[in-house]
Amino acid sequence: MSLGTDFVVIGSGVAGLRASIALAASGANVTVLTKDKASESNTEYAQGGVAVVLSDDDNDELHEEDTLVAGAGLCDPEAVETLVTDGTKYIKELIDWGIEFDREGGKLSFTQEAAHSRRRILHAHGDSTGKEIVRSLIARAGREKRINLLPFANTESLIVEGGRCTGVQFLDPILRAPRSIRAKAVILCTGGAGQLYQHTTNPSVATGDGMAMAYFAGAEMADMEFVQFHPTALSLEGAPRFLLSEAMRGEGGVLRNVKGERFMGGYDERLEMAPRDIVSRSIVAEMRRTGSRNVFLDMTAINGEFLKERFPKIYETCKFYGLDITADLLPVSPASHYCMGGVRTDLHGRSTLPGLYAAGEVSCTGVHGANRLASNSLLEGLVFGARAGEAAVADESGPGRAIAVSDAGKVARPDEITTRSTGGSEISTAVRKRVKRVMWERVGILRDGESLRRAITEFDHIASANLSTSSRKFVTLATLVAKAALWREESRGAHFRTDFPEPIEAWRVHSVQKLGGSIFRAGRIDPNSVSATSNAEARA
């Protein structure tokens, strides 16, 4: 049975909700599919806050420069400028819609995080910023009668007809049977793929389904090798890898090894406020040097009442596991956190597959480069979610546009693509465990050619079995990350090769992967089109 709507949005995090609101504002009917409850997404777990230029001592140029520096030479400047300049507008819009950011004396309260030159991070309810943004956006979307939120509807594949995305196939949450929805266009806002790794701060829904669906449908994927590992996830037996916010170091927390020594001075002059990739690698190096499984985050020099008020959720969670953040050293180690790569888009969310748009962590505009600046992700979801919704409406009401230029300079119109599988919407436990272990051990924080090749071989072996659709997507996504990491023979941002430990100017390019082809390198993504300024075939 096939349903109809004007537009389909997959995902109900900040990008999906903001895209839906933009679509509904144009008078379109929107169906929002999410595989869990509407509030369950990476957005809800974002603690630290959202970076935005609103304080008196800040400006756009400073925020842009901080983003470019963190991105290690691979950010697209036009994307960064769009993020920063439009970001202020959309945050002010959220405030007008009733979001409750924390204030001091009636004025917005800002904190600082690693690699930011100013205190520009807004937060809500201490350390529940993402949850408050989702609450605000769901409330706003609820006032739009044209938005239909459909929770617990697991999207299984994109429908591609005549080289265009025309809808989705999903599992009906009531009938527990496959159904399809036809639409003018589909906007992917499915988040990242942190669950590819054995240790992650991401919720269980972050399995990269949207990325894999787009890849199988024929869309180009970019920069898949760049996976950010958060330095400070709670590392306690029997406890989840709960995120201990970057803002804790921004408020004065320090890192100590198992001997109680503060160690970051031996790795970077910026100490605990160095970019995330540097702090994560420093922690791994220190754990290896001392033969330990974790280091410690020390907050004990900071006023205890302030910590309880500033980080209430973290305080209560740690307390549940027998830790007092005001008095105890908190055991931490890195965990996978964010994907800089994803579905390749222009600055309006258009993918290389006509009719398919993407925004938020599932996409790759080049705004984060090789390493995302802390607290830019919520801003990205707001800005590019809105832009994708607006572009989808404009494109469908206009004369149409050939935007899918392939590496050969021709319009890419992939035929409908199907995958060999046994059906099923669940990733098998055996496949999940095996892939996560291999990714952590061989495609993790420190990489080398031999380990990456062994990982790819193992993934190929897993893929040779008769897998469910979801299991095949999971293995395929892991393979894309590993192949891109093997292809990039340098170290840059979050991608560190022990056999190529330095950045190389010749590799200051985006990696692009497409179904049925080898990896090719691309220059800067044009802000008005997904065609690259220079493409050249490269080694797979």
Write out the two tokens for 5. Answer: 């709507």
Question: H or E stretch including 51?
Answer: strand 50-51
Residue 148, φ and ψ in degrees, nearest 5: -115, 105
Write b or e for each residue in 415-433: b if 16 or more Cβ atoms lie within 10 A of its Cβ, otherwise e: eeeeeebeeebebeeebbe
Place of tokens 């549940």: 320
Residue of 18, 120, 135, 276 marked catalytic: 276
How far, in whole angstroms, is CA 18 from its chain's centroid? 16
> Is residue 514 within 8 Å of 218, Cβ to Cβ?
yes
Based on the residue annotation, tell me whether 488 is a catalytic residue of this protein: no
Q: What share of the chain is helix, strand, coil (3-state, %, to 5)?
A: 35, 20, 45
Helix (H) or strand (E) holding 8: strand 7-10
Residue in 234, 175, 173 with CA at minimum distance from that of residue 201: 234
Nearest one of 119, 189, 108, 525 to 377, comparing CA atoms = 189
Q: How many CA atoms lie within 13 A of 103 on its CB side?
A: 8
What type of residue is 156?
Answer: E
Q: Is 157 helix (H, G, I), strand (E, B) or coil?
A: strand
DSSP bridge pairs for 200: 336
Active-site positions? 276
